[in-house]
């Protein structure tokens, strides 16, 4: 009897203590379930678990695929190089109609897989080379018709004048100009005037252009100073204009220095010239040293002037009615006493007040006799050889036609980058 009473009291105490300890747990559980923050964290945890599950499945699938994939034989399609042709045929019927050689299978290697599929390399975009050439000719004819309808109706020949001389960077510079001229969709005549006489090095470069060229040798050698180079280049350009006058070349004359960079829009824009035009030239003042850039020097040494903002641009300045009122010139005050004197100086190379590259003219202006030649043009025989810019060819500079949205568009960039005068570079 006494033992049963002890057991009953022990059970009662145990059940009471359990109820006392479980009561706060139940209440905290209810509070947790009812809390919005707790619900948010539960949902976020579930979302993270779902993302981990998807990514883990994808990763494990790729690992399984790469581990257990077997090595198979990969079939590659190769082609032989084109046979050399002495002359390209323009007739579609003359093109070879044979299908390229049968595809060859190379030795076995690990399978190349991109996603679920292998890579197959075709020898041609289309099985028949003749069909490919037909497609290219159709595209070319469409582009030609578009230029006829929306472009210049009767384009004039572009006569390009380039002074040059043999030096380390000549191949680099001339190749850039040559490639630009090869892309011009008009008839181009390239007059290359070389200081020190015509050389085989220059002739071999311009011969690769497939452009009608006139290589003129100039007896005087190029000086080692920038001022002397500017003066001699002026004489060389005038020599090219005399050749235009003697041969009575008809077209638009532009002055493309070998180190300048030209946009293709420039060649379309100069077709709008009637007699004498001007375009804006971006000036890339380059310093050969490792110091500050030209823009940093300009910002540090010159106070801002809102009436005449410093712009690295040369070209025509127009008013609100698109009338020529003056010229934008490059601000050289920050470089006073710091500019390069000799070609191999490690200093900033500055342009002239108005570069020749920013002007284009009708070739008939330099003819001895031309129909409807304006009276505001000087006689070319009376022009001195030490002129500063082509504006010296005019009696009235206000007759210049501003191009490129009245000078608002920069259509070419002026840059002078040269190596040391005594540096050597292997020809090739």
**Residues 38-86: tens digit of each pLDDT:** 888 888 888 888 888 877 777 777 777 777 765 444 444 334 444 443 4
CA atoms in the 13 A half-sphere facing the CB of 47: 6
Query: How far is C-alpha 90 from the geometric centre of its chain's CA atoms?
Result: 31
Angle at CA of residue 214, ends 389 and 235, nearest 5° = 25
Three-class secondary structure assignment of 323-357: CEEEEECCCCHHHCCCECCECCCCCECCCCCCCHH
Share of the chain above pLDDT 90, in %: 38
Query: What gap in Å lies between CA 122 and CA 76, rounded to an integer?
Result: 9
408 is written with which tokens?
A: 């608002």
pLDDT tens per residue, range 213-264: 999 999 999 998 889 999 999 999 999 999 999 999 999 999 999 989 999 9
Rounded distance between C-alpha atoms, residue 300 and residue 292, angstroms: 10
Runs of H (alpha helix) within 219-323: 226-247, 264-269, 294-301
Strand, coil or helix: 51? helix
What is residue 310's three-state secondary structure? Answer: coil
In angstroms, rounded to a whole number, what is the distance separating the alpha carbons of residues 162 and 254? 9
**Tens of pLDDT, residues 83-108:** 443 444 444 445 444 444 444 444 44
Could you tell me which residues come within 8 angstroms of residue 149 by beta carbon, excluding any fewer than 6 positions away? Answer: none
Cβ atoms of residues 100 and 123 within 8 Å: yes
In percent, the amount of the chain with pLDDT more than 70 equals: 71
Angle formed by the axes of helices 36-68 and 2-34, to 10°?
80
More confident residue, 51 or 301: 51
What are the start-end ranges of the E strands in 22-164?
113-114, 117-118, 158-164
Query: What phi and psi, each to the nearest 5 degrees, are found at residue 317?
Result: -115, 130
What domains does the chain contain, in order, with CATH numbers? 159-414 (3.90.550.10)
Determine the pLDDT at residue 52.
83
Residue 164 DSSP SS3: strand
**pLDDT of 73:** 42
pLDDT of residue 385: 81
Q: What are phi and psi of 234, to 5 degrees?
A: -60, -45
Task: Count how many residues are written for the chain.
Answer: 428
The whole-number pLDDT of residue 19 equals 52
- Tens-place pLDDT, residues 337-354: 888 888 878 888 888 889
Give the span between the Cα atoms of 317 and 412, in whole angstroms. 16
Cα torsion 93, 99, 101, 106 to 10°: value is 140
The three-point CA angle 266-233-338 to 5° equals: 90
**Residues 147-165: pLDDT tens digits?**
778 777 788 999 999 999 9
The encoded tokens of residue 44 equal: 């976020």
- Provide the 3-class DSSP secondary structure of residue 317: strand
């Amino acid at each position: 009897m006494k033992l049963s009473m002890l057991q009953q009291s022990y059970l009662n105490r145990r059940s009471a203590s359990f109820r006392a300890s479980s009561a706060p747990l139940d209440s905290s559980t209810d509070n947790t379930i009812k809390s919005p923050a707790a619900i948010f964290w539960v949902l976020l945890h579930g979302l993270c678990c779902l993302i981990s599950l998807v990514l883990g499945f994808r990763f494990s699938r790729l690992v399984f695929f790469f581990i257990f994939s077997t090595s198979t034989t990969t079939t590659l399609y190769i082609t032989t190089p084109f046979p050399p042709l002495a002359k390209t045929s323009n007739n579609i019927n003359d093109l070879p109609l044979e299908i390229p050689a049968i595809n060859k299978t190379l030795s076995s290697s690990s399978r190349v897989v991109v996603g679920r599929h292998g890579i197959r390399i075709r020898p041609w975009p289309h099985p028949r080379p003749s069909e490919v050439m037909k497609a290219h000719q159709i595209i070319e004819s469409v582009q030609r018709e578009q230029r006829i309808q929306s472009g210049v109706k009767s384009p004039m020949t572009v006569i390009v004048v380039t002074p040059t001389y043999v030096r380390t960077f000549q191949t680099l510079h001339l190749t850039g100009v040559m490639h630009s001229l090869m892309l011009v969709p008009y008839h181009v005549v390239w007059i290359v005037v070389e200081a020190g006489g015509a050389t085989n090095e220059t002739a071999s470069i311009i011969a690769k252009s497939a452009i009608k060229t006139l290589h003129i040798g100039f007896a005087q050698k190029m000086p080692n100073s920038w001022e002397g180079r500017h003066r001699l280049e002026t004489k060389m350009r005038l020599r090219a204009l005399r050749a235009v006058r003697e041969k009575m070349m008809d077209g638009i004359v532009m002055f493309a220095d070998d180190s300048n960079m030209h946009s293709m829009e420039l060649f379309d824009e100069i077709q709008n010239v009637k007699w004498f035009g001007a375009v804006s030239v971006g000036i890339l003042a380059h310093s050969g040293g490792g110091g500050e850039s030209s823009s940093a020097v300009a910002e540090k040494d010159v106070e801002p002037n809102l009436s005449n903002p410093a712009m690295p641009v040369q070209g025509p300045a127009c008013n609100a009615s698109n009338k020529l009122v003056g010229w934008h010139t490059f601000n050289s005050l920050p470089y006073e006493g710091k500019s390069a004197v000799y070609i191999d100086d490690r200093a900033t190379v500055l342009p002239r007040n108005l570069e020749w590259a920013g002007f284009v003219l009708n070739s008939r202006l330099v003819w001895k006799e031309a129909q409807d030649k304006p009276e505001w043009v000087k006689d070319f025989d009376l022009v001195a050889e030490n002129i500063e810019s082509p504006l010296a060819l005019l009696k009235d500079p206000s007759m210049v036609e501003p191009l490129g949205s009245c000078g608002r568009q920069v259509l070419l960039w002026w840059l002078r980058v040269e190596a040391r005068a005594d540096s050597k570079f292997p020809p090739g």
